[in-house]
Chain A
Amino acid sequence: MSTATGNAHEGRHELAHYFDSTRQQFESHKLAMWLFLCTEILMFGGLFCAYAIYRANHPEIFLYAHTLLDKNLGAINTIVLLFSSFTMAWAVRAAMLGQRRLLVGLLVVTLLCGFGFMGIKGIEYSHKWKHGFLWGEQFDYTEAVAYASGKGHGDDHAAETGHEGAHADDEAAIHTEVPAATAGDEDAAAVMAELDQAAAVTMDHGHDAERIPRNLHIFFGIYFVMTGLHGIHVLAGMGMLTWLIVRASRGDFGVRNYTAVDLGGLYWHIVDLIWIFLFPLLYLIH
């Protein structure tokens, strides 16, 4: 019995024949993981770059569109991921100290946070889907106009921000007093053609009109690519956590061998970190 527990405490450690020491092996694997994380950051870097360019060129789209995202759900997701990073870091420590049961428990909590995050993301996505707030050619302007008008009564603050955003940019504030159904109206069409840049689709909904900047779909294109790619990374991380849980409960890890947990932790933190950037950039625009 004592040997068995001793084994579990130590973990299985295997030194590959091409390494001289476990330390060399551990450091090699860790360096490789850091390099891989660099590639992840650069891959998202391309998207952040696209984000910066479109936001600089079309600030009115971003100011308006972010009001269509649910800040509360975004904030909850941020907290969920931050908490999961905490449990992951603790799990690495538990692995270092050979606390097997604690390690498994913490990994399970981290995995559950992953499920929570994806669940909330799913709620957000289905909401966008329902209202046609989609990318590029899938974007449904009629639905969006109807939604924005309805929302204008329910959520004053959001509508306010939308208004200010639109007014801040002169060109964005073209306000024609015609319903969208008659957008073919010659006057309106002429004005829109003349000021090609940031015309507005307008709908007179009872008394007050809501403006939707042209090319609003650009924001949602970027939103879905960024959060979608991030979501895929979360899913990959959850797969990795499952694998770690299986191995941890088998007793593979211990004070001598916790490389996999350590590297998995690094990956999970980077996924978390990317979300920490995505949340303010997409949800909290001023």
Chain B
Amino acid sequence: MSKRIDVESLNVYYGDFLAVEDVNIQIDPRAVTAFIGPSGCGKSTFLRTLNRMHEVVPGARVEGKVNLDGEDLYGRGVDPVRVRSQVGMVFQRPNPFPTMSIRDNVLAGAKLNSRRMSRSAADELVESSLRGANLWEEVKDRLGKPGSGLSGGQQQRLCIARTIAVKPDVILMDEPCSALDPISTLAVEDLISELQEEYTVVIVTHNMQQAARVSHKTAFFNIAGTGKPGRLIEYAPTQEIFNNPKNQATEDYVSGRFG
């Protein structure tokens, strides 16, 4: 399942500090959307509002609407816990659960929802998720070993496997390759391209080539200065953002003139 995200005039605050201002954006299903922009412009902040992960930070709050196929994530009575099992997240640094084996890592989220999973169903889910994350061949002989014993790139793919095991509609990724070497990065990028067949994928990246390689549409965020809120400057098909941007700031950024 893959769902469309519709954001309407969203403001994000940390306490009194307005971090992101008035974002309107429609994110397509079955596609990869990239967020780019200089450091501190609120990409992570905005991304985390798409699964209410920002609520982990005390004092963080939003105004506005985020619709997932028409259903407002911030509507009354919507449980953030359920939102997060619909909208999964992959973090900047690989973070498998260190106390769990590879197998248990994959099952960790899935078990939260369906506690009574038969052994064969669990085996199947482990294999399909690890295959989905292009990791199966590398770990199938050591599923009982700790996940923290894998390489960084393998750990990140394990985290992706863990996320897709929950069968979310959307997968958010915050600079998923920034802690990885080039080979591992390529493996994860390949994976991202495959994930779009089933999921809505949103990826924050500082790597222009990466955005160009994997995404269909790109959103450029910027800030006017420190202490000012981040804003969505331009949102268009990736080809257009990189080859033919409408906004001067976008052109400066993608051509490497600042940021």
Do A and B make up one complex? no
Interface residues of B (CB under 8 A from A): none
Interface residues of A (CB under 8 A from B): none
